[in-house]
Amino acid sequence: MSKKFKILCLLLLIAILSATVINLNTGFLSLNLNDFLGEAANSQIAEIRVNRVLVMLLAGISIPTSGFLMQEYFQNPLAGPDILGITSIASLSVAFYIFFSYNIDLPEFLQNSFLSLSSIAGSFVLMLLLLSMSKRFTDKSHLIIFGFLISAFAGAIVSLLQFYAENQSLKNYVLWSFGANNMVSRSQIYVLTLLVLIGSFMSFKSIKPLIGNSLGTAYAQSLGVNLNHLKLFIIIASSLLSASVTAFLGPILFVGIIVPHFCRLIYNPAKLWQQWGLNMLLGMLMMMLFSIIAEKTQIPLNVISSLFGIPVILTMLLKQNKV
């Protein structure tokens, strides 16, 4: 492990810690240490802020990891859970759940579980479809276009659901779609943590085969890489990581593309292990900064990620097509 990589990781950890402290102290009320540690008057507000920080850290781990796995597998820097339509399908699955389960009275833990399961199931089906379509498309840009079409189709179905939805169901969906990180409860964080841990473990198991896969299919097979197992692990890990965050935070767009891109800019060439570590650290920092901006400006989280991500992706496209 090089000295430059160690220094870079240390700087990112310091920045994450600083952003965490700022995030905990950002809000309408000023809190002191006793509010976070004891039973003070503002302890409930302190708990909301702690939940906000925890869910941002989990999102910072999972979304960039999902994008990183997909980019390495498809060998396409524009592959990501939102560009390829996974986030849109997960959002559609959540919309079906919100609109059709409004009158069903379930315990909170079961509601959270079904919410995440519906999101993961939708993204899992789409990942299978993407992998089957990737064999038919000789030009990798066609897969990106296919993802955009899937996103547009999912958006149209969601619009139909919104048109016929009851007022309360529509309100619940709109609040969810804004990416309200202050509304995530502790029980939801427990479910999200479990899903992120499973997805991260599968990502860990995928890194070594991905190294062989990046050198070519024939070479990977000569190294003993089981390409079918690798495909399955990428599908499950990417679906779990992206859809679980979408289920509880709404569609956080473009983070899964721009974080791996920035990691390659600040430290390249690097081993995939190192790139994965940088993706998680930079992802946590970026999500913490987005959270601070959202609290300061009251702009929805997914709007901030889009305003930041779209110019970056446009710049990437212009660079790729520059003669």
Residues 52-70: pLDDT tens digits?
999 999 999 999 999 999 9
Q: Taking residues 59-87, report their average pLDDT.
A: 90
d(CA 131, CA 228): 11
d(CA 179, CA 162): 17
Q: Of the segments 64-68, 175-179, 182-186, which one has the largest average pLDDT value?
A: 64-68
Tokens at residue 149, please?
């079409």
DSSP calls for 50-81: HHHHHHHHHHHHHHHHHHHHHHHHHT-TT--T
Residue 25 has a pLDDT of 92
Residues 281 and 12: beta-carbon distance below 8 Å:
yes
- The pTM score is 0.89
d(CA 45, CA 39): 11
Looking at 159-173, 249-263, 292-306, which range is the least confident one? 159-173
Distances 259 to 1, 117, 199, 306, 312 between C-alpha atoms, Å: 21, 26, 18, 13, 10
Which residue ranges make up each domain of the chain? 54-320
Residue 35 has a pLDDT of 82
Give CATH for domain 54-320.
1.10.3470.10
* Residue with the larger pLDDT of the pair 289 and 239: 289
- Cβ count within 10 A of residue 209: 21
Residue 110 has a pLDDT of 67
Residue 14 has a pLDDT of 97
Mean pLDDT for all residues in the chain: 86
DSSP single-letter state for residue 182: G
Task: Place 109 in a pLDDT band, splitting at 50, 70 and 90.
Answer: low
